[in-house]
Amino acid sequence: MTVFALIIINKAGGLIYNKTFHEAGLNKVSTNDLLVLAGTFHGVHAITSKLNPVKPTPDRSSTASNSGLANRPEPPSGLEVLESENFRLQCFNTMTGTKFLLFTDTTQANVDVTIRKVYDLYSDYVMKNPFYQLEMPVRCDMFDRKLLSYIREINNR
């Protein structure tokens, strides 16, 4: 049960954060390759969310009394999990299109809970930081510190 690494991709497909937690886990990849991975994943995600089978839209006239918000369709989700023999990549896409990719052991449980907690930390320590510029690489000590202690707690469980 190990969390290997975290990658955050902004809504334009740029890599804004990457951190390896478990040195013995994944092989080292150059920053250039990570940037390519981020861009490629972003593209594949966009395409897979279009592949979503079309759901039958509810009849407009029968639900006219409802507000427009209630019958807005769920946004299509796109690629969520990528699995190999040795690791598993889980993607969490926020409402604004920022993507969190978590590389874990294939046996890791409750990855969606972990990834949501990481999103919590991101929205606290990155989005509420007045010195962070949107869509730019994340350089926040506080976020690093909280993230490391949270992941360490999970890896030692």
Partner 1 sequence: MANLPTGKPPGKDQSGLRYPSNGKTIYHRPLNRTKTAELSQASFAYLFSEMISYAQRRVTGIQDLEQRLNVQGHPLGLKLLDLLLIREPPRTQTRPLNIIALLHLIKINLWTHLFGRQADRLEKSSNPETPDEYMIVDNEPLVNAYISVPKEMSQLNCAAYVAGIIEGVCDGAGFPARVTAHSVGLQEGGGGDGGMWPGKTVFLVKFEAAVLEREALIGGKG
Q: Which long-range contacts (CB under 8 A, 24 or more apart) does 22-29 make?
A: 22/155, 25/87, 25/103, 26/87, 26/103
- Helix 141-155 / helix 111-125 crossing angle, nearest 10 deg: 160
Min. distance of Cβ 42 from partner 1 in angstroms? 26
Pick the binder of partner 1 from 55, 60, 130, 157 (CB under 8 A). 130
Smaller CB separation from partner 1, 20 or 129: 129
Smaller CB separation from partner 1, 19 or 105: 19
Pick the binder of partner 1 from 63, 128, 135, 136 (CB under 8 A). 128
Min. distance of Cβ 18 from partner 1 in angstroms? 18
Strands 15-20 and 81-83: unpaired
Min. distance of Cβ 114 from partner 1 in angstroms? 21
Number of residues that bind partner 1 (CB under 8 A): 12
d(CA 79, CA 49): 7
| Stretch of residues binding partner 1 (CB under 8 A), selected from 56-64, 80-88, 104-112, 124-132 | 124-132
Min. distance of Cβ 126 from partner 1 in angstroms? 9
Residue 142 as a binder of partner 1 (CB under 8 A): the answer is: yes
Q: Residue by residue, what is the 3-state secondary structure of 49-113?
A: HHHCCCCCCCCCCCCCCCCCCCCCCCCCCCCCEEECCCCEEEEEECCCCCEEEEEECCCCCCHHH
Catalog residues that contact partner 1 under the rule CB under 8 A.
Answer: 124-125, 128-131, 139-143, 145
